[in-house]
Protein backbone atom coordinates (compact mmCIF):
# COMPACT_ATOMS: atom_id res chain seq x y z
CA UNK A 1 0.00 0.00 0.00
CA UNK A 2 2.81 2.38 0.85
CA UNK A 3 4.65 1.66 -2.36
CA UNK A 4 1.46 2.08 -4.35
CA UNK A 5 0.74 5.37 -2.61
CA UNK A 6 4.17 6.73 -3.40
CA UNK A 7 3.87 5.72 -7.04
CA UNK A 8 0.51 7.43 -7.32
CA UNK A 9 1.85 10.65 -5.81
CA UNK A 10 4.83 10.75 -8.17
CA UNK A 11 2.62 10.07 -11.16
CA UNK A 12 0.29 12.87 -10.09
CA UNK A 13 3.16 15.34 -9.75
CA UNK A 14 4.52 14.47 -13.19
CA UNK A 15 1.08 14.76 -14.74
CA UNK A 16 0.39 18.10 -13.04
CA UNK A 17 3.63 19.45 -14.49
CA UNK A 18 2.77 18.40 -18.03
CA UNK A 19 -0.70 19.93 -17.72
CA UNK A 20 0.72 23.42 -17.17
CA UNK A 21 -0.18 25.69 -20.08
CA UNK A 22 3.02 27.53 -20.97
CA UNK A 23 2.46 31.14 -21.99
CA UNK A 24 3.70 34.69 -21.52
CA UNK A 25 1.49 37.61 -20.53
CA UNK A 26 2.28 41.32 -20.78
CA UNK A 27 0.51 44.18 -19.08
CA UNK A 28 1.16 47.80 -19.85
CA UNK A 29 -1.02 49.70 -22.25
CA UNK A 30 -3.50 46.85 -22.31
CA UNK A 31 -3.02 43.14 -21.62
CA UNK A 32 -2.08 40.39 -24.05
CA UNK A 33 -0.79 36.83 -24.17
CA UNK A 34 1.67 35.04 -26.45
CA UNK A 35 3.07 31.55 -26.77
CA UNK A 36 6.59 31.23 -25.38
CA UNK A 37 8.32 31.11 -28.77
CA UNK A 38 6.38 34.17 -29.91
CA UNK A 39 7.34 36.03 -26.73
CA UNK A 40 11.02 35.22 -27.26
CA UNK A 41 10.85 36.67 -30.78
CA UNK A 42 8.98 39.72 -29.47
CA UNK A 43 11.76 40.20 -26.92
CA UNK A 44 14.42 40.07 -29.63
CA UNK A 45 12.61 42.55 -31.88
CA UNK A 46 12.12 44.93 -28.96
CA UNK A 47 15.69 44.57 -27.69
CA UNK A 48 16.94 45.69 -31.09
CA UNK A 49 14.84 48.85 -30.75
CA UNK A 50 16.23 49.45 -27.24
CA UNK A 51 19.77 48.89 -28.48
CA UNK A 52 19.22 51.46 -31.25
CA UNK A 53 17.73 53.99 -28.83
CA UNK A 54 14.36 53.96 -30.57
CA UNK A 55 11.13 54.76 -28.72
CA UNK A 56 8.69 52.13 -27.51
CA UNK A 57 6.39 53.20 -30.35
CA UNK A 58 8.88 51.81 -32.86
CA UNK A 59 8.81 48.44 -31.09
CA UNK A 60 4.99 48.49 -31.05
CA UNK A 61 4.90 49.04 -34.81
CA UNK A 62 7.45 46.28 -35.37
CA UNK A 63 5.61 43.78 -33.16
CA UNK A 64 2.24 44.43 -34.81
CA UNK A 65 3.90 44.00 -38.20
CA UNK A 66 5.66 40.76 -37.32
CA UNK A 67 2.51 39.29 -35.79
CA UNK A 68 0.56 39.99 -38.96
CA UNK A 69 3.28 38.82 -41.32
CA UNK A 70 4.52 35.68 -39.55
CA UNK A 71 2.59 35.22 -36.28
CA UNK A 72 5.87 36.24 -34.62
CA UNK A 73 7.62 33.12 -35.89
CA UNK A 74 10.74 32.98 -38.02
CA UNK A 75 9.21 31.40 -41.11
CA UNK A 76 11.61 29.93 -43.64
CA UNK A 77 9.17 29.93 -46.54
CA UNK A 78 7.05 32.39 -48.46
CA UNK A 79 3.34 33.13 -48.31
CA UNK A 80 0.77 34.87 -50.45
CA UNK A 81 2.89 38.02 -50.36
CA UNK A 82 5.49 36.31 -52.51
CA UNK A 83 7.29 32.97 -52.91
CA UNK A 84 10.58 34.49 -51.74
CA UNK A 85 9.16 36.10 -48.58
CA UNK A 86 10.96 34.94 -45.45
CA UNK A 87 11.46 35.50 -41.74
CA UNK A 88 9.72 37.40 -38.97
CA UNK A 89 8.65 40.21 -41.28
CA UNK A 90 8.22 38.15 -44.48
CA UNK A 91 10.83 40.30 -46.18
CA UNK A 92 11.67 39.64 -49.81
CA UNK A 93 15.26 39.56 -51.08
CA UNK A 94 13.91 40.60 -54.49
CA UNK A 95 12.77 43.87 -52.92
CA UNK A 96 16.13 44.73 -51.36
CA UNK A 97 15.64 43.51 -47.77
CA UNK A 98 18.80 41.40 -47.88
CA UNK A 99 19.89 37.99 -49.06
CA UNK A 100 17.78 34.88 -48.52
CA UNK A 101 20.00 34.03 -45.56
CA UNK A 102 19.86 37.53 -44.08
CA UNK A 103 16.07 37.90 -44.03
CA UNK A 104 15.70 34.78 -41.87
CA UNK A 105 18.30 36.12 -39.41
CA UNK A 106 16.06 37.77 -36.78
CA UNK A 107 18.67 40.42 -35.95
CA UNK A 108 19.16 41.42 -39.56
CA UNK A 109 15.41 41.35 -40.24
CA UNK A 110 14.61 43.51 -37.21
CA UNK A 111 17.29 46.05 -38.07
CA UNK A 112 16.16 46.14 -41.70
CA UNK A 113 12.61 46.88 -40.56
CA UNK A 114 13.74 49.69 -38.25
CA UNK A 115 16.04 51.10 -40.95
CA UNK A 116 12.96 51.53 -43.13
CA UNK A 117 10.69 52.71 -40.31
CA UNK A 118 12.91 55.59 -39.20
CA UNK A 119 12.77 56.96 -42.75
CA UNK A 120 8.98 57.36 -42.46
CA UNK A 121 8.35 61.02 -41.55
CA UNK A 122 6.55 61.37 -38.21
CA UNK A 123 6.14 57.63 -37.73
CA UNK A 124 5.90 58.10 -33.94
CA UNK A 125 2.64 60.00 -34.28
CA UNK A 126 1.09 57.80 -36.96
CA UNK A 127 -1.42 55.07 -36.22
CA UNK A 128 0.43 51.78 -35.86
CA UNK A 129 -1.29 50.31 -38.90
CA UNK A 130 -0.39 53.35 -41.03
CA UNK A 131 3.26 53.28 -40.03
CA UNK A 132 3.48 49.52 -40.62
CA UNK A 133 1.90 49.85 -44.03
CA UNK A 134 4.36 52.53 -45.12
CA UNK A 135 7.18 50.10 -44.44
CA UNK A 136 5.61 46.85 -45.64
CA UNK A 137 3.30 48.06 -48.44
CA UNK A 138 0.95 45.17 -47.78
CA UNK A 139 -2.03 44.20 -49.89
CA UNK A 140 -4.02 44.20 -46.61
CA UNK A 141 -3.09 47.55 -45.03
CA UNK A 142 -5.70 47.49 -42.27
CA UNK A 143 -4.73 44.03 -41.01
CA UNK A 144 -2.03 45.37 -38.69
CA UNK A 145 -4.60 47.16 -36.52
CA UNK A 146 -5.89 43.91 -35.00
CA UNK A 147 -2.54 43.39 -33.28
CA UNK A 148 -2.18 46.83 -31.68
CA UNK A 149 -3.19 45.82 -28.14
CA UNK A 150 -0.68 42.96 -28.11
CA UNK A 151 2.03 45.13 -29.64
CA UNK A 152 1.62 47.97 -27.14
CA UNK A 153 1.48 45.64 -24.13
CA UNK A 154 4.60 43.67 -25.02
CA UNK A 155 6.52 46.72 -26.24
CA UNK A 156 5.76 48.58 -23.02
CA UNK A 157 7.10 45.71 -20.88
CA UNK A 158 10.02 44.69 -23.07
CA UNK A 159 11.33 48.24 -23.45
CA UNK A 160 11.21 48.59 -19.66
CA UNK A 161 8.58 51.30 -19.64
CA UNK A 162 6.31 49.03 -17.61
CA UNK A 163 8.20 47.46 -14.71
CA UNK A 164 7.31 43.88 -13.77
CA UNK A 165 4.78 43.83 -16.59
CA UNK A 166 5.79 40.59 -18.26
CA UNK A 167 5.26 37.18 -16.72
CA UNK A 168 5.73 33.70 -18.19
CA UNK A 169 4.15 30.55 -16.80
CA UNK A 170 6.49 27.65 -17.56
CA UNK A 171 7.06 24.02 -16.74
CA UNK A 172 10.26 22.97 -14.98
CA UNK A 173 13.28 23.08 -17.33
CA UNK A 174 14.36 19.85 -19.00
CA UNK A 175 18.06 20.65 -18.76
CA UNK A 176 20.56 22.94 -17.08
CA UNK A 177 21.04 26.44 -18.41
CA UNK A 178 24.29 27.50 -20.07
CA UNK A 179 25.50 30.87 -18.67
CA UNK A 180 27.86 31.41 -21.60
CA UNK A 181 25.07 30.85 -24.13
CA UNK A 182 22.73 33.15 -22.20
CA UNK A 183 25.40 35.86 -22.05
CA UNK A 184 25.98 35.54 -25.80
CA UNK A 185 22.27 35.88 -26.54
CA UNK A 186 21.99 38.86 -24.21
CA UNK A 187 24.91 40.62 -25.92
CA UNK A 188 23.47 39.89 -29.36
CA UNK A 189 20.19 41.46 -28.29
CA UNK A 190 21.36 44.53 -26.34
CA UNK A 191 24.96 45.04 -27.41
CA UNK A 192 27.79 45.77 -25.01
CA UNK A 193 25.88 45.53 -21.73
CA UNK A 194 28.31 44.98 -18.81
CA UNK A 195 27.87 41.38 -17.64
CA UNK A 196 29.80 39.19 -15.21
CA UNK A 197 29.17 35.50 -14.54
CA UNK A 198 29.16 34.02 -11.07
CA UNK A 199 28.50 30.30 -11.20
CA UNK A 200 25.18 29.84 -12.95
CA UNK A 201 24.13 33.49 -12.57
CA UNK A 202 24.58 36.47 -14.89
CA UNK A 203 25.03 39.80 -13.13
CA UNK A 204 24.08 42.60 -15.50
CA UNK A 205 24.87 46.24 -14.78
CA UNK A 206 21.76 48.22 -15.71
CA UNK A 207 19.28 50.56 -14.10
CA UNK A 208 15.92 52.16 -14.72
CA UNK A 209 14.14 51.21 -17.93
CA UNK A 210 17.26 49.46 -19.24
CA UNK A 211 17.26 47.14 -16.22
CA UNK A 212 13.63 46.24 -16.74
CA UNK A 213 14.17 45.73 -20.48
CA UNK A 214 16.96 43.25 -19.72
CA UNK A 215 15.03 41.55 -16.91
CA UNK A 216 11.88 41.05 -18.94
CA UNK A 217 13.88 39.94 -21.98
CA UNK A 218 15.28 37.23 -19.69
CA UNK A 219 11.80 36.15 -18.56
CA UNK A 220 10.60 36.00 -22.18
CA UNK A 221 13.60 33.79 -22.99
CA UNK A 222 13.38 31.66 -19.84
CA UNK A 223 12.06 28.60 -21.65
CA UNK A 224 14.68 28.50 -24.40
CA UNK A 225 17.62 29.39 -22.14
CA UNK A 226 16.55 27.37 -19.07
CA UNK A 227 16.39 30.45 -16.86
CA UNK A 228 15.20 29.75 -13.30
CA UNK A 229 14.94 33.23 -11.76
CA UNK A 230 15.32 36.92 -12.58
CA UNK A 231 15.74 39.83 -10.16
CA UNK A 232 15.79 43.58 -10.82
CA UNK A 233 15.03 46.80 -8.99
CA UNK A 234 13.74 45.19 -5.80
CA UNK A 235 11.53 42.62 -7.58
CA UNK A 236 12.04 38.99 -8.49
CA UNK A 237 10.50 36.44 -10.85
CA UNK A 238 10.87 32.73 -10.08
CA UNK A 239 10.03 30.10 -12.65
CA UNK A 240 9.15 27.41 -10.12
CA UNK A 241 6.86 29.63 -8.03
CA UNK A 242 4.71 30.73 -10.97
CA UNK A 243 3.40 33.70 -9.00
CA UNK A 244 4.70 36.64 -11.02
CA UNK A 245 7.01 39.33 -9.67
CA UNK A 246 7.53 39.53 -5.90
CA UNK A 247 9.74 41.68 -3.63
CA UNK A 248 13.40 40.64 -3.78
CA UNK A 249 16.65 41.80 -2.23
CA UNK A 250 18.71 42.86 -5.23
CA UNK A 251 21.13 45.83 -5.34
CA UNK A 252 20.15 48.89 -7.34
CA UNK A 253 21.75 48.99 -10.76
CA UNK A 254 21.98 45.21 -11.10
CA UNK A 255 19.91 42.55 -12.84
CA UNK A 256 20.43 38.95 -11.76
CA UNK A 257 19.63 36.15 -14.16
CA UNK A 258 19.95 32.69 -12.60
CA UNK A 259 20.19 29.69 -14.91
CA UNK A 260 18.63 26.38 -13.96
CA UNK A 261 20.92 23.73 -12.55
CA UNK A 262 20.91 20.15 -13.83
CA UNK A 263 17.75 18.32 -12.73
CA UNK A 264 18.25 15.37 -10.42
CA UNK A 265 18.58 11.99 -12.09
DSSP string, 51-107: HHT--HHHHHHHHHHHHHHHSSS--SS-BTTBTT-BTTTTB-GGGTS--HHHHTSHH
Number of H helices, E strands in the chain: 10, 9
Rounded to an integer, what distance in angstroms lies between the CA atom of residue 57 and that of residue 159? Answer: 10
**Does the pLDDT value for residue 90 go beyond 90?**
yes
Most confident segment among 75-79, 90-94, 118-122: 118-122
- The count of C-alpha atoms lying within 13 angstroms of the C-alpha of 19, restricted to the half-sphere facing its C-beta, is 6
- State how far Cα 51 lies from the chain centre: 14
26-83 pLDDT, tens digit per residue, is 998 789 999 999 999 999 999 999 999 999 999 999 999 999 999 999 988 655 555 6
Strands 201-205 and 245-247: unpaired
Other CB atoms within 10 A of residue 99 CB? 11
**Residues 188, 111 contacting (CB under 8 angstroms):** no
- Residue of 162, 129, 192 whose CA lies nearest to 30: 162
In angstroms, rounded to a whole number, what is the distance separating the alpha carbons of residues 49 and 42? Answer: 11
Q: What is the pLDDT of residue 183?
A: 97
The pLDDT of residue 8: 34
Position 10 pLDDT exceeds 50: no
pLDDT digits 0-9 by tens, 196-222: 999 999 999 999 999 999 999 999 999
Amino acid sequence: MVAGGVYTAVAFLDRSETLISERCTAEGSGRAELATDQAANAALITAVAVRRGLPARAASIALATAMQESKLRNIGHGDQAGPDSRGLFQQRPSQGWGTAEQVIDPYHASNAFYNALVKVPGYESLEITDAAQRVQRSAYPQAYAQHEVMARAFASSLTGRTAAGLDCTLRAPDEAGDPAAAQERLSEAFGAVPVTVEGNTLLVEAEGAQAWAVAQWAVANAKGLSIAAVEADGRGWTREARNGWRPADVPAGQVRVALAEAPPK
